[in-house]
Structure 1
C-alpha cells in the first residue's frame, strides 16, 4: 500500500548515558503492542515546505531538538539479571528492565501511498476505518518488549495525493498517553518555531523523567521472578475485527447525561445523579449496547473497564509533566448481562462513576504495594490481549488529550487515527474532535458478527451524530 522512499535515524545531539528503571506501572506494558497514533494534514502550500521530502527533513530536524529534553525516547531497553545466594554460589533470582539512554535513535521513514490515495480515502464518513491506514504505521505487530532491539519511537511520513499522514509507533512501556501527547506537542511546538524562525510561544515544559516511587525516593526497578524475562512475555495473535469512528456531538452527550440523571433521580439516587459526567453517560451507552449486541447467555457476567490517570489522584499529586506510565485500569462491579440491560442507562453510568470515585490515593498505593511485595510469576497485569474479558468492555485513550493542538508548521491536523495495535472486541478509544466544542469521537472495535448486530441497535444510533465532515482536499 506504500512505497518507502527513504529512512533515517534521528539522534539527540547529547547522549546523557543514564539508565531509567521501568517500575510498577511500566513493566506491565511489556506484553502490549506499541501505541500507533497518527495525524492527517493538508499538503503544505507555499515555499517553506515545497515537497514531502522537505516536510520529512523539517520534522526530523525538530525531532532532534525535542530529543534533547525527551532523550529516553531515543533509547533502547536493556535487561539486567539479579542474583541471590544459592547452594552452588550466586544464582539468578530475577530480571528487570531499564531504558538505556545512550542516544541509539528514532527511526523516521518517508513513504508514498500507492495508487493515488487521497485524504478522503483515509477518513471516509460513516463507514469502517479503511485498511489502508494500517500501512501508515511502522513496527506493526511489535510488542513493547521488542524495544530492546527496535526503536522506542518510529515515525512514518506518508505522502498522499493531496495530503500527508504522520504515523507514530511509540513504545507504551516508555510512557502512557498523557506523556506521549505531551512529547508530540512539544515536538510540534519546536517544529513550528523553527519553520517560522521565531521564538517558541512559551517556554518548553520540560518532562519529569525520574520515575515515581511510593516513598518519594529514587525509584527501584521491578524485579520479576524469572531467569529470562521472555518467559513472562506473551504474544497474542490479532483477531479479525471491524473498526468504526463514531461521532458524538456535545448536544448528544448532554442528552445522554440528562437521560441518565433523570433515571437515577427516579430511583432515588440523587448522589449518583449529581456526580454524573458526560464520560460516564457515553461509557454506559457503549457498555450496554455492546453487551446487547453480543447476545450473551443469561448467566454471563460483564464489567466495564476504564484506563485511568493516577497523576491527579495521588497525594501529593504527580505533575502533569511526569514522563512515564501513571495509569491503572479500574472496573465496575460485575453484573449479569440481562441485569445490566434491565437496570438501565442511569444505573450503568453511576456504576462507572462509583468505580472512578473509588480509585483513591490509598487504593493506588495498595495496588503498588501488592505488586512490589509479590511480583507476578506469570502474566503480569497488563494492557495485553489475554486478560481482556470477551464479555466485558474497555474504555481507553481520552478526549482530554491535546491531539489537535500539535501544529508542526503544517497547520492543525484534519483528523487523528490509529493503527491496528492493541485492539480488542469491545474496546473503545475516545478522541477529542478537531473543532472542539465538547464533542467526542469514539473509535470502536468489535468482531464482524457483533458489529453487524450493533448496526441494527436503534438506541445506539439515536445517540450517534452524523460525522462532522472532515475538511479534506486542497485548501
Structure 2
C-alpha cells in the first residue's frame, strides 16, 4: 500500500492535554550547557508496537491518561514548556500545562509496520506533529487487527535516552498498578528522578584542561590532495539484525571486548569499506557516552536531564580496514581504540567539555558529517522493552524517523540476544554494507 494511502488510513479521534494529578509550583528549571546544545534538536520520535491482548480494556485510554497524570508529578518538567529566563537564557518553564495526548484509529494492521524501516511517513502516521515547545507528546493508534502503536516525542532539551526510559518505565508502572487491587507496588519500586541540573554548572573560571573535550567538536583535518567520496543521494534507513551467535563471534574476534566495542569496531570497519574510503584518509568514530557514574562525586543514578557527552577516536582508515575486507588486520585493535575512548570518560573530560561549551562564542550546531565520520548511538542494555502498560511488552520499539547520514543506532533485538543495527546512509552505501556486515568473522 502506498504511504499516501496509509496516511488516509490513520484518523485522529481525540487530542487533549494531560496535566499532573497534583498541583505543582510554577518555576523555571535551569538548563546546563549540555541541555542547551539540544534546544534546536527538537523532539526524539520513537514508536512501540503491541499485539492485541485478550480481555477487555486493552490500552484503555482513561487508564493511560490517569497513569500519565501521576507520572507527571515526579517528572514535572515534561508538563512544562520551553521558555527563557530574565537574561534570555533558555529554560524549561514548569507551568504544569501538561503533555499532549493523541488518540487515533487505523484500518491497517500492526504487522504492516512493526518491521518497517524508520521513515518520515512512519513518523507522520504514529508520532504527534506540530508540538513546538511542548516537552512531551504521545499518540496511541488502535489498529483494525486489535494491535496498538504508541508513538512518543520527547524534547531532547529536557532529557537524554536514559531519562526517557526512566519516564516510560514510571508511566507504564502506574498504568499496570491501575489495574491491580494492590497499593501500587510497581510504581513504588521505581526511583524518583533528580532534577538539580546545577550539578553540571561550568567551573569558575571555566578551564579546558583535557584537550579531548575540544577534538570531537572540530572537523577532521584531511589532506586536500586525498580524494574523498562525494555524497551520493539522500540518506535512507535500513535495520540489520545480527544474531546472538554473530555477536558472540564478533566479541571473540575482539578478544572478549564488550558488545558495544565489538559491534562498533565491526560497523566502523564495514562502513569504511562500504564508503570506499582511501586508506590514507583520517576517519573518526564518535558516540554519546553516559557520564553519570564518571563524575567525582558521581551524579545521582536517576539524574534527569542530559547526562551525556560526545567522545570518540580517530585514526587512519588503514588502521580500521585494509584493502576491502580480503586482507584484514585483526579486529581487536579497532575495538581497543573504542575501549580506550570509553575508559577515557572521566570527571576532567566532562568538566572540560562543559567549560568549553560555556566559553564557546556559539553552541556547536548539528552538522552534516563527512564520509570519513561515523556516529554510533547505543541503546544496548537499556530496558526499552519494559514499556509494559499492563497488556504485555512491545513487539518492537524503534526510532520513527532518522534522516542524517552517518548515524547508527545499536539496540537489543527483543530478548533473543541479537542486536538491531539501524544505519542511515545513501542507498548505494547500504547496498555495499549488506554483504559486509554479515561476512564471516
TM-score (norm 1): 0.77
Deviation at 1:185, TM superposition (A): 0.4
Aligned pairs for 1:357-368 within 5 A: 357-368=343-354
How far did 1:57 drift?
Answer: 2.3
User: For residues 131 and 19 of structure 1, do their structure 2 counterparts lie closer, same or farther at Cα, with a shift above 3 Å needed?
Assistant: closer
Q: Work out the number of aligned pairs and report it.
A: 394
Could you list the per-position Cα deviations for residues 137-188 of structure 1 after superposition, in whole angstroms to 9, with x for gaps in the alignment? 435587xxx42xxx11110111123210001001011011111100000000
Q: Which residue of 2 aligns with 1:222?
A: none
CA contact (8 A) 1:42 1:410 kept: no
User: Whole-Å Cα distance in 1 between the matches of residues 202 and 344 of structure 2?
Assistant: 23
Aligned CA RMSD, in angstroms, stands at 2.4
Q: Select 2:19's aligned residue among 3, 6, 11.
A: 11
One of 88, 103, 108 as aligned partner of 2:101: 108
> 1:39 & 1:128 partners in 2: Cα distance?
13
1:229-308 to structure 2, matched below 5 A, reads: 240-261=234-255, 276-308=257-289
Q: Which of 87, 105, 112 is the equivalent residue of 1:121? A: 112
Counterpart residue number, 2:43: 34
Match of 1:354 in 2: 340
Separation in structure 1 between the aligned mates of residue 13 and residue 37 of structure 2, nearest angstrom: 36
CA contact (8 A) 1:137 1:167 kept: yes
Instruction: Give the equivalent residue in structure 1 for 2:217.
Output: none
Q: Which residues of structure 1 form unaligned runs of 5+?
A: 83-94, 218-238, 262-272, 465-475
Which of 62, 68, 73 is matched with 1:63 structurally? 68
Other-structure match for 1:133: 122
Q: TM-score, normalised by structure 2?
A: 0.83
Q: C-alpha displacement at 1:454, in angstroms?
A: 1.3
Residue by residue over 1:56-82, the C-alpha shift from the partner in whole angstroms, topping out at 9 and shown as x without a partner, is 222111101111111110100111353
Asked whether the equivalents of residues 19 and 72 of structure 2 are also in contact (C-alpha less than 8 Å), the reply is yes
- Of residues 406, 409, 418, the one that matches 1:429 is 409
- Matched position secondary structure for 1:196: coil
Question: Displacement, 1:315?
Answer: 1.2
Offset at residue 216 of structure 1 (A) = 11
User: SS of 2:439's equivalent?
Assistant: helix
Q: In structure 2, how many angstroms separate the alpha carbons of the residues matched to 1:199 and 1:122?
A: 37
Contact 2:68–2:171 at 8 Å: present in 1 too?
A: yes
Match of 2:386 in 1: 405
